[in-house]
Amino acid sequence: MRVIGLETSCDETGVAVYDSARGLLAHALYSQVSLHEEYGGVVPELASRDHVRKTLPLLRQVLAEAGLRRTDIDGVAYTAGPGLIGALLVGAAIGRSLAWALGVPAVAVHHMEGHLLAPMLEENPPAFPFVALLVSGGHTQLMRVDGVGQYALLGDTLDDAAGEAFDKTAKLLGLGYPGGPALARLAERGDPARFHFTRPMVNRPGLEFSFSGLKTHALTTLRAEPLADEQTRADIARAFEDAVVDTLAIKCRRALEQTGLTRLVVAGGVSANRRLRERLDDMARPLAAAVYYPRLEFCTDNGAMIAYAGYQRLRAGQTEPLAFTAWPRWPLSEVAAPSA
């Protein structure tokens, strides 16, 4: 089965082709960073219009790279939520229309399910069951995963997601958009011993997260420094990053111990953070646990993860009616397992 995957949930247009026999055949991604940079964040209307411009050219590009014709496609998967409603509707309309024109089934995919299953595209994929840390600009969640569509929420963030806190703190430090990667680069030059930020909610039971206080801590630290030079800003960035990374690692260890599982999947945009990967690997070693990540290019939004997740649902017989919809808010725990 060959499945086209379309990802248009926010500010990146992703298209890919997944073949059940040969794996990922081709994928392409267009980032809108330069479009939104002057505004300091994503402008939803501009994002939607750019998806309209880019999706079909990327689709033609991916099919050419895969050596396929449109008639070689057996199914179409598209991101139906969560995300920006206008951007989602672009991908949903194109995906459902393409499937109708080709006479093949279509399936709506949950954006975070795509992220969660992205490590399955690697040579050493994790086996079920496992604990998943979904960490991005909009989500910081711990899930127990027993199979495709079998998701139990273990812990969620009470306020800002980790990626959101990265972006907001980066803005406080005068860094550009996107802020998370810029803050991580600045933190590389920081002195880890100069400032210490608290690790929120690690001294109470449970697996919930809270990162808004770290953003405030960064602001008050910055204001308290009479000379907020480049090194000071780097030191604050390092203290912030260390606090977020340590908090995530502590909660992941707790989740593994509570569930008795020995596999941890880490996915979403923040999973590309080098310091987070190092800290999680160190955390897992004494537990004899294995940590699985998607390759760096599949940490951010992409069509490959949607094509793979869509394939898993199509092969189980799940399809969408001719009418389509999109959900800007859609809890992953409400996604049903395929019936077959």
Q: Per-residue pLDDT averaged across 87-110, rounded?
A: 98
Q: Cα–Cα distance between 11 and 246 in angstroms, integer?
A: 29
Whether the pTM exceeds 0.75: the reply is yes
Q: Per-residue pLDDT averaged across 179-186, rounded?
A: 95
Residue 134 has a pLDDT of: 97
Q: Per-residue pLDDT averaged across 15-24, rounded?
A: 98
Residue 258 has a pLDDT of: 97
Instruction: Please name which of 5, 20, 12, 210 lies closest in space to residue 114, comparing C-alpha atoms.
Output: 5
Residue with tokens 């999109």: 326
Contact between 262 and 127 under an 8 Å Cβ cutoff? The reply is no
Q: Per-residue pLDDT averaged across 279-285, rounded?
A: 98
HEC string of 183-211 equals HHHHHCCCCCCCCCCCCCCCCCCCCCECC
Residue 340 has a pLDDT of: 54
DSSP 337: P
Residue 177 has a pLDDT of: 86
Instruction: Please name which of 97, 78, 76 lies closest in space to residue 87, comparing C-alpha atoms.
Output: 78
Question: Considering Cα of 68, then 8, then 113, then 80, what sign does the dihedral take?
Answer: negative
Q: Is the pLDDT assigned to residue 54 strictly greater than 80?
A: yes
- Per-residue pLDDT tens for 242-277? 999 999 999 999 999 999 999 999 999 999 999 999
For residues 121, 127, 128 and 134, what is the CA-based torsion angle, rounded to 10 degrees? -50
Residue with tokens 């991916």: 62
Q: Cα–Cα distance between 291 and 1 in angstroms, integer?
A: 29
- Per-residue pLDDT tens for 209-248? 999 999 999 999 999 998 789 999 999 999 999 999 999 9
Average pLDDT in the chain: 96
- At 12, list the tokens: 């990146």
| φ and ψ of 157, to 5 deg | -85, 140
Residue with tokens 């972006």: 167
- Helix ranges (H only) for the chain are 33-36, 44-66, 85-102, 111-117, 162-172, 179-187, 212-224, 230-259, 274-284, 303-315
